[in-house]
Amino acid sequence: MKLKKNIATSESGFIFNPSTGDSFSANGIAAGILAEMKSDKTEQEIKTGILARYDVRPEQLDRDWDDWMVQLKEANLLDN
């Protein structure tokens, strides 16, 4: 699933949905992942990068990723 094209993000982790006026704060890791999603990297490419940078098992990352997607969907930040 892709981030909506018009979602604005900043390096500090501020997220703004211009369609709804909703805004959110993300921590540094989440802001980095959002930036990668905006650059049109695939899910696999992003996950590979995370596995290389952090001490996390692939199955744990998959679970966290699914949870992340649910959060983004609930926040109305993903394309349908």
Partner 1 sequence: MKPADILTVGITGLNAHDNPGPGIAVARALKDAYGDNIRLIGLAYEALEPGIYMDKLLDKTYHIPYPAAGATVLLERLLEINGMTGLDMIIPNFDAELGNFIKIAPRLAAEDIKTFLPDAVQLAARDKTQLHEFAATYGFKVPDYVNLTKAEDMEVTGDKLGYPLFIKGKYYEARLADNADEAKKIFHDIANRWGLPVIAQRCIKGTEINVAGLGDGKGNLISAVPMRKLYITDKGKAWAGVTIEDAELVDLAGQFAKTLQWRGGFELEIIKDNAGNLYIIEINPRFPAWIYLAAASGQNQPAALVKMAMGDDVQPFESYEPGKLFIRHSWDDVVDIARFQQFSAFGEI
What residues line the site for partner 1 (CB under 8 A)?
6, 8, 16, 18-21, 23
Nearer to partner 1 (CB atom), residue 35 or residue 61: 35
Write down the least CB distance from residue 50 to partner 1, Å: 29
Can you read off the two tokens belonging to residue 57?
Answer: 């098992």
CA 17/CA 24 separation, integer angstroms: 9
Residues 6+ apart with CB under 8 A from 57: none
CB-CB neighbours of 7 under 10 Å: 22
Write down the least CB distance from residue 16 to partner 1, Å: 5
Nearer to partner 1 (CB atom), residue 20 or residue 39: 20
